[in-house]
């Protein structure tokens, strides 16, 4: 009886090892994806994705697994695959033109934000532009990607952070806005109705408890990531 139990647990354990190994081979990845549209955030959160075919109205159905244009020898999860999964999960739509010359989609619309002659969708890893299409961009667990609708006069991608993510009613908390790429302070950005100073900081004091979600905005800049501050009572 005892031996039987041990054997069973050993099988469960071996099964677990097998599944972990499969995940390690890059068959799927969970990434942090943020999609900033023209007037609002379209998606911000974790998305699990694996390499798969993608269909758009303009471009039709094609593979989107990193082997596009011979970028990687084996298939795996990609940025445009993650966009497509987020769209299905959240119920928004997107479109893209397919270019067979580089075997990738050029994103033309996400949600209601449509490319124009001076506005277009950009793909960034962290706060740096990526230099390949989204079906060639392989993604790994924990990666941070930003897909942003930007105008020609976009000058920066805002990043929001706080010294502390919990505070109490009446207890000030200092929030900082930086140019995500240069990591320099951004003056004149708006957070919770207040403007950042020359050090890119606002001091917020909350009059009631709860969970506050904050983002920073500024003209000619891509709005920031969201942060959540827990405000406790007395």
Contacting range for ligand NAG; rule: CB under 6 A; set: 62-70, 79-87, 163-171, 175-183: 175-183
Is 155 a binding residue for ligand NAG by CB under 6 A? The answer is yes
The residue (of 152 and 182) whose beta carbon lies closer to ligand NAG is: 182
Binding-site size for ligand NAG (CB under 6 A) equals: 5
The residue (of 183 and 208) whose beta carbon lies closer to ligand NAG is: 183
Spatial neighbors of 172 by CB under 8 A, at least 6 apart, are 203, 204, 205
Task: Annotate each residue in 181-220 with x if it binds ligand NAG (CB under 6 A) or - if it does not, as one string.
Answer: xx--------------------------------------
Asked whether 210 and 198 are in contact (CB, 8 A), the reply is no
Structure tokens at 123: 């793909």
Cβ 154 to ligand NAG shortest distance, Å: 9
Spatial neighbors of 197 by CB under 8 A, at least 6 apart, are 187
Gyration radius from the chain CA atoms: 21
Is 179 a binding residue for ligand NAG by CB under 6 A? The answer is yes
Structure tokens at 231: 């405000």
Q: Which helix (H) or strand (E) holds 119?
A: strand 119-125
Name residues contacting ligand NAG, limited to 34-53 (CB under 6 A): none
Is 156 a binding residue for ligand NAG by CB under 6 A? The answer is yes
Calpha distance 62→52 (Å, rounded): 9
Which residues would be at the binding site for ligand NAG (CB under 6 A)? 155-156, 179, 181-182
């Amino acid at each position: 009886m005892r031996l039987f139990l041990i054997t069973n647990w050993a099988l469960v354990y071996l099964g677990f090892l097998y599944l972990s190994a499969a995940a390690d081979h890059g068959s799927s990845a969970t990434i942090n994806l943020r999609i900033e549209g023209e007037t609002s955030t379209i998606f911000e959160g974790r998305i699990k994705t694996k390499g798969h075919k993608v269909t758009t109205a303009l471009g039709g159905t094609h593979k989107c697994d990193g082997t596009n244009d011979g970028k990687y020898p084996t298939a795996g999860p990609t940025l445009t695959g993650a966009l497509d999964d987020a769209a299905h999960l959240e119920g928004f739509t997107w479109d893209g033109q397919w270019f067979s010359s580089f075997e990738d989609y050029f994103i033309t619309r996400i949600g209601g934000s449509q490319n124009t002659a001076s506005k277009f969708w950009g793909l960034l890893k962290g706060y740096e532009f990526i230099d390949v299409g989204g079906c060639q961009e392989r993604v790994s667990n924990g990666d941070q990607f930003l897909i942003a609708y930007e105008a020609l006069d976009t000058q920066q991608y805002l990043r929001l952070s706080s010294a502390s993510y919990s505070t109490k009613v009446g207890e000030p908390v200092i929030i900082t806005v930086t140019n995500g790429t240069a990591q320099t302070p951004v003056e004149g950005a708006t957070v919770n109705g207040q403007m950042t100073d020359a050090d890119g900081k606002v001091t917020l004091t909350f009059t009631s408890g709860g969970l506050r979600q904050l983002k920073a905005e500024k003209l000619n800049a891509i709005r920031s990531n969201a942060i959540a501050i827990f405000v406790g009572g007395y």
